[in-house]
A and B are shown apart, each in its own frame.
Chain A
């Protein structure tokens, strides 16, 4: 790889990312999939870095899941998006930060549509006004939550308790990254580093001491792709897509997979179990899987947050091997205690894939 050339290209894909006063909108599904990721984002921004973040209690789904599954028309979606902007405007904020990649793609798509077709924007404003009496300003800055962590990656590195370094050997840990399709594939200039060589997650891994492995199927979809997954009959090719990626990355023995989309970490994590059951193949060390993390979880580990506070116990693939490599202490007996200290029960232990 010619790093000079890659850096020159990255320069062409720098985007404006606001540095404070964020209006944060959550994902519909992430709190179920990765329960502590969004909380961790807020904790890092507010407690660690002193930023101001506002969440509106009345914000809703962006309707992206429905839009991408062809059950909600774009007009409706645009009006829902307009309502979210109205909440932001009413709250006195201008920097819009969605947690979900599909939302980010959708907000971008709506803003681009309005940019090219002002008459559509005027119509949607009218619809929103009639339906809710609300008015709105368009965001001054739209950035995905991973863009924010990317922007603050060095501040996080300055406060790091642990590095992406094998504490026994001193060698950098090897990460593979996977970017959500809706982050930059639709609008390359809206993603840090563009669509072909996105830098947003690479930048984090590098700043936190790790090494990025570029595997051949990096650009391939994780397998979520709404239509692939929502209909049971199609799930065979959802899992086949994930498998294509695992087969491609496994030879390079990655220590972890880093993602920035709600769907990707979920599918890359859970499908490792399904593939193990169906074909008997596992992709990590000693019959285990390759740990899959969200960028908030990884940032949380680097900052020394307790792994169980980060929700890592709900992952299918055990993260303990990664914790061991980073030298992060953890208390196995507390793994399945809820926030209130109550024992939650131990999940089913599959035979096909080794778990801790």
Chain B
């Protein structure tokens, strides 16, 4: 291939139809309170991990719903399971179990 000096930029667009929503389905089955989330960001504002990395529980829930699994997988490892978000969440989302469920669901689906 000739050296063009540039590469085709990667598409940032979420292609909803092509993204699999299996991970989300698996997580929602384990922790249905994920449906209660209203994307308010209370969790991320106080999260210790979010202060120092680009991690946000609010965003991770959305990424999960859109099927952007790769980003979910890199995100979820940032959580320190301190439980502060659960204390803060106004909607009663069981965030600790949600995060554990995401980790377990990733493990389960990567075995399949």
Contacts and interface: CB of A to CB of B under 8 A. Distances in A.
On whether A and B touch (CB less than 8 Å), the answer reads yes
Interface of A: 232-237, 239-240, 243-244, 274-275, 277-279, 352
B1 A236 contact: no
B11 A232 contact: no
A275 B8 contact: yes
Nearest to B13: A244
Contact of A277 (B1, B5, B6, B9): B1
The interface residues of chain A, by DSSP majority, are classed as helix
Interface string B1-44: 11011111111000000000000000000000000000000000
Going nearest first, the 4 A-B pairs with the smallest beta carbon separation are A240-B9, A237-B9, A236-B9, A236-B6
A38 B5 CA distance: 33
Given A236-B8, A240-B9, A352-B1, 6 more contacts: A239-B6, A277-B2, A277-B4, A278-B1, A278-B7, A279-B8
Nearest to A352: B1
29 contacts: A232-B5, A232-B6, A233-B6, A234-B6, A235-B4, A235-B5, A235-B6, A236-B6, A236-B7, A236-B9, A237-B9, A239-B6, A239-B8, A239-B9, A240-B8, A240-B9, A240-B10, A240-B11, A243-B8, A244-B11, A274-B4, A275-B8, A277-B2, A277-B4, A278-B1, A278-B7, A278-B8, A279-B8, A352-B1
Contacts of B5: 232, 235
A282 to B, nearest CB: 14
Contacts of A235: 4-6
Contacts of B4: 235, 274, 277-278
Contacts of A237: 9
A240 B10 CA distance: 7
B86 to A, nearest CB: 41
A277 B6 CA distance: 12
A235 B7 CA distance: 8
A316 to B, nearest CB: 14
Contacts of B10: 240
Contacts of A232: 5-6
A75 B4 CA distance: 36
B11 to A, nearest CB: 7
Contacts of A244: 11
B112 to A, nearest CB: 29
Nearest to B2: A277
Contacts of B6: 232-236, 239
Contacts of A352: 1
B84 to A, nearest CB: 40
A274 B6 CA distance: 11
A234 B10 CA distance: 12
